[in-house]
Copies of this chain bind each other. A is one copy, B any other.
């Protein structure tokens, strides 16, 4: 799989996802401010990917810091963290990853400035390696719920390109295939940014997975035709009661799945779970530039000049529409998710297993 984000020769390297699938271009960032811009402008997107990108951005910014004392270093690191945290509001990984880097820096009070800068790079790189391991573990748990053969509908891109590698929702699909199952994918194109058409279709074709592209409004039709066995999507932020924020359109797919008795799964690394928010009503939903709706790929104007537009980037799917939330610790009923926040609780005791397994 192509690397989505990596630390390369002292720079942060990103594949430019705004130019896929037509061009495969990598951009090297030497200034953390430009990393913030890359996240905001969707050069990199997908909750896990932007989390690790932000962590690498913190490490990149840290290299510029001149400080005599550890407290001074931390004081200079804060505005770098704040700048990166301002990139986008909905995906919780952004804040989770930055906070992890800040805490790590605060804890390393015995290191020299030089060693601390080096340690911050290592910590960010470690987070990237952990992301791949988490996705593989999540994929294995999720694949248990995939039949053989199975036709899977997915929305947006929760694949290798949304993570450091392997993917969350698509990781479930890759794992099912590694288990020898015949999987076929229907990919919603996912307006307005078309992550399904541009990224998921491209990524799955690169991986040799049988993928069929449809417009978002076709999903219900194919469910009614009995052509979809299950739905798997990712998440930008999942909260304590199991409500899930994900790309706009996810909620509609969940309602359609319920209407047709089709299981609806969310692949959610625990880094995307925000136990501090009780219900989905508390999740900030990013409203993006209306031009993303009226001017496709910033190239083709499709609407009358001056038309009023709404452009929410995400919606919230209530827990009651979700069959299971798949994490690297196992699959769980949304209602049981909060138990993961209890250090005493053993996940095995409330894991959800496939019927007949």
Residues of chain A at the chain B interface (Cβ within 8 Å)? 21-22, 155, 188-192, 194, 197-198, 201-202, 205, 210-222, 224, 248-249, 251-252, 255-256, 258-259, 293-294, 296-297, 299-304, 306-310, 312, 315-316
Contacts and interface: CB of A to CB of B under 8 A. Distances in A.
B212 A191 contact: no
Contacts of A22: 301
B300 A205 contact: no
B309 A214 contact: yes
Contacts of A251: 220-221, 224
A302 B216 CA distance: 14
Contact of A308 (B197, B202, B211): B211
Given A189-B191, A302-B194, A218 B248 contact: yes
B249 A217 contact: yes
A303 to B, nearest CB: 4
Given A205-B306, A217-B248, 6 more contacts: A197-B302, A211-B307, A213-B303, A218-B248, A218-B315, A220-B249
B213 A315 contact: no
Contacts of A188: 217
A308 B201 CA distance: 9
18 contacts: A22-B301, A190-B217, A197-B307, A198-B304, A201-B307, A212-B309, A213-B293, A213-B303, A213-B308, A213-B309, A217-B252, A218-B312, A220-B255, A221-B248, A222-B310, A252-B252, A256-B256, A300-B300
Contact of A304 (B202, B294, B300, B303): B202
Contacts of A155: 217
Contact of A189 (B218, B220, B302): B302
Q: How many copies does the complex hold?
A: 2
A234 to B, nearest CB: 15
A266 to B, nearest CB: 16
A329 B201 CA distance: 48
A322 to B, nearest CB: 15
A21 B304 contact: yes
Contacts of A259: 255, 258-259
Leading 9 A-B pairs by shortest Cβ distance? A217-B249, A220-B252, A191-B215, A216-B217, A221-B315, A300-B300, A21-B304, A212-B308, A202-B304
A215 B313 CA distance: 11
Contact of A293 (B215, B220, B299, B315): B215
Contacts of A258: 259
Contacts of A224: 251, 315-316
Contacts of A297: 300, 302
A241 to B, nearest CB: 16
A303 B196 CA distance: 9
Given A219-B252, A312-B221, A302 B293 contact: no
B303 A198 contact: yes
Contacts of A218: 248-249, 310, 312, 315
Contact of A299 (B197, B300, B316): B300
A280 to B, nearest CB: 10
A212 B310 contact: yes
B307 A221 contact: no
A189 B248 contact: no
Contacts of A303: 21, 189, 197-198, 201-202, 213
